[in-house]
Structure 1
Amino acid sequence: MDSAQKVVKPKDSKFKMRYVVLALVFVNIVINYMDRTNVSIAMPELAKELNLTTVEQGLIFSAFGWIYAAMQVPGGLLLDKFGSRIMYFISLFGWSLMTLFQSSITGFAQLLGLRLGVGFFESPVMPANNRAISYWFPENERGTAIGIYSSAQFLGLAFSMPILYAIHNSIGWRGLFIVTGVIGIAWAFVWYIVYSDPQKNKWVSQQELDYIKAGGAIFEEELPDEQPKAKVTKENLKKLFTKKLIGIYLGQFAISGTFWFFLTWFPSYLTEEKGMSLTSTGFLSSVPYLAAFVGVILAGYLSDHLTKKGFSKSMARKIPVITGLLLTLFIMGANYTNNPYLIIGFMSIAFFGNGLATITWVFVTLLAPNQLLGLAGGIFNLCGALSSIVIPIVIGFLVAGGNFSYALVFVAIIALIGACSYIFVVGNLEKEA
């Protein structure tokens, strides 16, 4: 059993700063994914106004991922150098400004450029989330913490989807970009004022600081001074491309593939393929996100519970991920019905599985060297970002004839490859020398 599990919790149970940090990260992610998905809500009307083809729509959906993927390693390096507080502020303010500017576009090229801008500024976000949680939470609470903040992308979208559709229906797609952009700009200042790493935080108690440190939270002074924290050297690259890490990189591409279908083409699938109205789509599309939220919360709780009960890390951490990837195959069931409730049912099972598998950030902390955590997180997120490029473009070509059937099969095959990667490539969850 890990030493982190033997640590006694601090006696004072009044105020826990680590829970405030978790709440901040949670809201960050809600805003982050709101600004990723607002273009998919706007797209049916926007595409008509700008006369966009399905291939052009696929390019718009994927534009975010081009520069987002390219900036993952540089973003990880900057994160290790400057920390989560400053990098997150710049990131949040920047992508929200790009979102605001989307309200004034008049053509394909402008929208493409601004989506590239959103991807550029969002690039450090997921490694920054993982870094903040790794610094603030002991290891035996980290799975639950990662599960909670990962759930924000699903819960936030589940509740915001009807609201975003209502905004779109009342003030149009330009108004939608204005509202979501302003919210992010305001929240950037809240983050900067409240967040700092544990040793620099004026609100954390000494008891809580001792507890999280004894439980395995990463502290800056514990990183070897003589070893550079994050340089792209041959030796460091060898450490970041072991068999186990390559396995989780492949798995992340697969898990993100399903998510990017829902984040980009799902509203168009419901309205154009299945003939649902924009009003009904706003409510029905929120159901799979709620299912995914349940999945990710269950994954974090179950994983930590099994760990505390003495199960091996491999069993406790991998079972939810593999099970979730296999459940994603249910997405193909929607090809065999036009009943809206059955369609949403199959989509909800698939997205529940995606949520169950989204706890994978814990593997970065378990397998990557501590001094390379930001860089490893950048590479890990790069692989997920690559799916944000591949999936929307491939689906754009697959649905050019007006049929989504092959697109759903494509998403299912990618998920199956991810499950095989965790079963046959990742193996035992121990850091490799």
Structure 2
Amino acid sequence: MSETEVARSTGETTAPPGRRRVPTRFLVLALIFFITAVKYADRASLSITGSSLQEEIGFSSVQLGYIFSAFSWAYVVGQLPGGMLLDRFGARKVYAASIGLWTLVTFALSFVGLITLPVVGWVAVIFVLRLLLGVFESPAFPANARVATTWFPTAERGRASAVFNSAQYFATALFAPIMGWVTSSFGWRWVFVGLGVVGFVLAVFWLRWMRPPREHARLTEAELATMQEGGALVDLDRADQSTQRAPLNRATIGRIFSSRALWGVYLMQYSVNALTYFFITWFPIYLIQGRGLSLLEVGFVAALPALCGFAGGLTGGFLSDALLRRGRSLTTSRKLPSIVGMLLATSIAACSLTDNTPLIIAIMTLAFFGKGVGSLGWAITTDIAPPQATSFVGSTMNAFGNAAGIVTPIVIGYTVQATGSFDIALWFVAVHALLAVVALTIMGPIKRIQLDT
């Protein structure tokens, strides 16, 4: 009898009388939510510290745009290898290594500028560090999707995906004020030092606590049955389930890429991420250079749209699952909130029509609430990915989606330098919200891809 079975048979996983026990899958979700929030804080840290770093090092807006984009070049390229590693070794080991390595790179950014180099030299150093950050973060979202597929029934997966996806907004709401205050009070280097400490703690905790469902000592038989009967793929990461994995040969890949729904979600995720990358790269710079706010003010002001994006993300996921429970089709349940949300997100273009800063913040808040509601791409991906290649499908979707992280920062950098204004950038982002609606309408029925094994 295994340790897990002994714990279950002796009642160690049973809550004391009178105390309602928190399901283990919700604790798993809370953990990947917080890891994702820290990941986005690492990714967005340069946008908060960017003005101070730019002033100290002396690089231009175009150079800053390329630095912002460096993350996504590597992040996109790393998706397929990351997904293949996840399908081969499972989420526990790969995610732990990923967290530890991206944290090391974040910590290394605190050493920038400590020796004398020409501006182009430091630009190159930061560019390379951001490339490495992209490589090491590349398995993270496919790992989240894999965990959601493993631990959550189909009728709860929209909420689960919405929760971990909404961590990007929570990261800004929580960490942007802190990073702004640390930068103003102690200097930008301490932002990267603090994030490094948090990341190393998370990597150790993940590796020690996380296990596949059947091997997790805290999981009760009743909860395991609920998960399995509801469609959770509870054996996805078990070491003895190698027979479940289909070889990624030409026929398998061809079957995956012939899915109309998959191509629709590719285009949708690219469009949604154009808004994401504006928010985590240029938005704080926009508030400083375009609206004249101080760094400390930016930390708190940026939290307002982020909080509404967080609320929108939860709203979209819960609404989608509620529609599904009320008998609506999977296609309707996923698409309807997404379309409504992305239409709301187009309101960001209206920021170019006014100089009233409070009104601009209000519009941004509405736009990012809508963007949160419409960000159901990961839920759709978990619905359509075949069990044998969940991480491969998630990784390819994430690769296409994060191509926006290459294009958006560079385009905005050039337009800001050429025009001295963010107006074109705001319209550029709004058009992508419309493009997401187009992608949803051409996606076709949402159903799981079946592979011949």
Establish whether residue 240 from structure 1 lines up as the match of residue 259 from structure 2: no
For 1:256, the equivalent position in structure 2 comes to: 273
Establish whether residue 16 from structure 1 lines up as the match of residue 23 from structure 2: yes
Establish whether residue 286 from structure 1 lines up as the match of residue 293 from structure 2: no
CA contact 1:79–1:87 (8 Å) conserved in 2: yes
Give, in angstroms, the shift of residue 90 of structure 1.
0.4
Establish whether residue 208 from structure 1 lines up as the match of residue 184 from structure 2: no
CA distance in 2, matches of 1:264, 1:221: 35
CA distance in 1, matches of 2:263, 2:243: 24
For 2:11, the equivalent position in structure 1 comes to: none
For 1:98, the equivalent position in structure 2 comes to: 105
CA distance in 2, matches of 1:396, 1:282: 21
Equivalences for residues 11-410 of structure 1 within 5 A: 14-106=21-113, 107-220=122-235, 229=245, 231-241=247-257, 242-401=259-418, 402-410=420-428
CA displacement 1:315-371 (0-9 Å, x = unmatched): 111111111111111111111112111010111111111111122211112112111
For 1:3, the equivalent position in structure 2 comes to: none
Give, in angstroms, the shift of residue 160 of structure 1.
1.7
CA distance in 2, matches of 1:276, 1:208: 50
Give, in angstroms, the shift of residue 225 of structure 1.
6.8
Name the SS of the counterpart of 1:400 in structure 2. helix
Give, in angstroms, the shift of residue 427 of structure 1.
1.6
CA displacement 1:210-258 (0-9 Å, x = unmatched): 1111110003379997967254321122222121110110000000110
CA contact 1:299–1:356 (8 Å) conserved in 2: yes
CA displacement 1:69-119 (0-9 Å, x = unmatched): 001011000001111111111000100110000011121111111111111
Give, in angstroms, the shift of residue 414 of structure 1.
1.6
CA distance in 2, matches of 1:410, 1:416: 10
CA contact 1:303–1:317 (8 Å) conserved in 2: yes
CA contact 2:386–2:449 (8 Å) conserved in 1: no
CA distance in 2, matches of 1:226, 1:333: 52
Letter in 1 for 2:423: S
Give, in angstroms, the shift of residue 158 of structure 1.
0.8
CA contact 1:303–1:320 (8 Å) conserved in 2: yes
Q: Provide structure 2 residue ranges, at least 5 long, that are not aligned to the other structure.
A: 1-13, 114-121
Give TM-score, length-normalised by structure 1. Answer: 0.94
Give, in angstroms, the shift of residue 14 of structure 1.
2.0
Name the SS of the counterpart of 2:375 in structure 1. helix
Give TM-score, length-normalised by structure 2. Answer: 0.90
Letter in 1 for 2:439: S
CA distance in 2, matches of 1:218, 1:228: 11
CA distance in 1, matches of 2:356, 2:110: 35
Q: Provide structure 1 residue ranges, at least 5 long, that are not aligned to the other structure.
A: 1-10
Structural RMSD (CA)? 1.8
Identical-pair percentage: 37
CA contact 1:287–1:348 (8 Å) conserved in 2: yes
Higher mean C-alpha deviation, range 76-85 or range 323-332: 323-332
CA contact 2:169–2:309 (8 Å) conserved in 1: yes
Name the SS of the counterpart of 1:52 in structure 2. coil
